[in-house]
Amino acid sequence: MTLLVTGGAGFIGSNFVLDWLAQSDEPVVDLDALTYAGNLQNLASLEGDARHVFVHGDIGDRALLDRLLAEHRPRAVLHFAAESHVDRSIHGPGAFIKTNIEGTFTLLEATRAYWSTLQGDAKAALRFHHVSTDEVYGSLTPDAPAFTESHPYAPNSPYSASKAASDHLVRAWHHTYGLPVLTTNCSNNYGPFHFPEKLIPLMIVNALAGKPLPIYGDGLQVRDWLYVGDHCSAIRAVLARGQVGEVYNIGGWNEMPNRDIVHTVCALLDELRPSSEGPYARLITHVKDRPGHDRRYAIDARKIERELGWRPAETFASGIRKTVMWYLDHADWVANVQSGGYRDWLATNYTAR
């Protein structure tokens, strides 16, 4: 019994791998291309752990996928690997098309070929779990109902369009070929190991360095916030009990405008690491909004609660405190990410193995 996890050195993927191996002895084969946001230091605690097999490679490499599937014979493929930053997708959409669409296609085809070789219970048990985003649904008005699993797709950025395309591929491979798939669409994650280009870690890192805290436009863009540990528990629930072919929305029941998020982070830092220069909120700066910035996302997570019994364990207050404290306690990790030193981890720890 083995899992194949793609993107397992990224933010959500590494949290899932660590969480899984903390609760199970079922091995994980971890495939990651180690692009800028893939960081093997996230998995440093697993060094020497035979349950974790790391493979440096790309989901677009069909020969590699075929070899890994044949060698390790996983019972499930959990597909986290993705380019995921909206700002980067605006400036360089090509990488998002290549990874999120072409890469997902290649992974689906490799999994389908592997699935066709299985017999009996092994074939019936296989799952392809596709991890996606609420951004595929587009933007909501302030008083609109939250996204349900039947909400029409209306992606507004190159990133969300590429993820929407990957969702459609997964659906099509189920309906056309019968591939046993599961899809989850999550809201904004936050927590440990989050690359400091995203809102919450950027605010923490910049504030500690005395740098401006940039807020796009009026800062009233609303997002639902999901602690990454809760996302991991939801994925475990879907993998264990989810209905093949179904979509499950995963949210934290925490709708908040970006401006309030930044003020909350500043208040926690004032409490936990006060600055001699005064309150951190003094650093807040409003900058020109990004093109096509969606105003509101909101997840209706009642289906996963009703059918699978899952609810988030963290409130935003508890999750954001844990997150700020993690960054305060892991200054070396932050420094390595900012300096690019984390890229040396592969050469230092794996090249000679």
Q: Which domain holds residue 94?
A: 3-190+227-253+294-313+343-349
Share of the chain above pLDDT 70, in %: 96
pLDDT above 60: residue 263 = yes
Could you tell me which residues come within 8 angstroms of residue 248 by beta carbon, excluding any fewer than 6 positions away? 149, 182, 183, 184, 185, 234, 238, 242, 303, 304, 307, 308
Q: What is the pLDDT of residues 73-83, one digit of tens each?
A: 999 999 999 99
Q: What confidence tier does 342 reach under pLDDT thresholds 50, 70, 90?
A: low
Distance CA 133, CA 249 (A): 9
Tell me the residue length of the chain.
353
Residue 44 resides in a domain: yes
Residue 326 resides in a domain: no
Q: Which residue in 135, 167, 230, 255 is the catalytic one? A: 135
Residue 214 resides in a domain: no
Residue 259 resides in a domain: no
Q: Report residue 27 as tokens.
A: 């091995």
Q: What is the pLDDT of residues 65-75, one digit of tens each?
A: 999 999 999 99
Residue 167 resides in a domain: yes
Rounded to the nearest 10°, the torsion over CA 217, 220, 224, 228 is 50
Query: What order do you get walking across the sheet with 52-56 strand by strand?
Result: 52-56, 28-32, 3-6, 76-79, 127-133, 181-186, 247-250
List the one residue out of 132, 42, 137, 40 whose CA is nearest residue 83.
132
Q: Percent helix, strand, coil in the chain (nearest 5)? A: 50, 15, 35
Distance CA 64, CA 42 (A): 23
Residue 232 resides in a domain: yes
Which one has a higher pLDDT value, 231 or 90? 231
Residue 69 resides in a domain: yes
pLDDT at 77: 98
pLDDT above 60: residue 345 = no
pTM of the predicted structure, to 2 decimals: 0.94
Whether the CB-CB separation of 299 and 222 falls below 8 Å is answered with no
Residue 337 resides in a domain: no
- Specify whether 197 is catalytic: no
- Specify whether 121 is catalytic: no
Q: Report residue 224 as tokens.
A: 């639902």
User: How many domains, in total, are found in the chain?
Assistant: 1
DSSP 296: B
pLDDT above 60: residue 351 = no
Whether the CB-CB separation of 299 and 224 falls below 8 Å is answered with yes
Q: Which residue in 114, 137, 159, 248 is the catalytic one? A: 159
Q: Which residue in 134, 149, 167, 224 is the catalytic one? A: 134
Helix (H) or strand (E) holding 239: helix 228-241
Q: What is the mean pLDDT of residues 123-134?
A: 98
- Specify whether 135 is catalytic: yes
Whether the CB-CB separation of 9 and 30 falls below 8 Å is answered with yes
213-216 vs 222-227, strand pairing mode: unpaired
pLDDT at 347: 58
Q: What is the pLDDT of residues 209-238, one digit of tens each?
A: 999 999 999 999 999 999 999 999 999 999
Q: What CATH number has the domain bearing residue 47?
A: 3.40.50.720
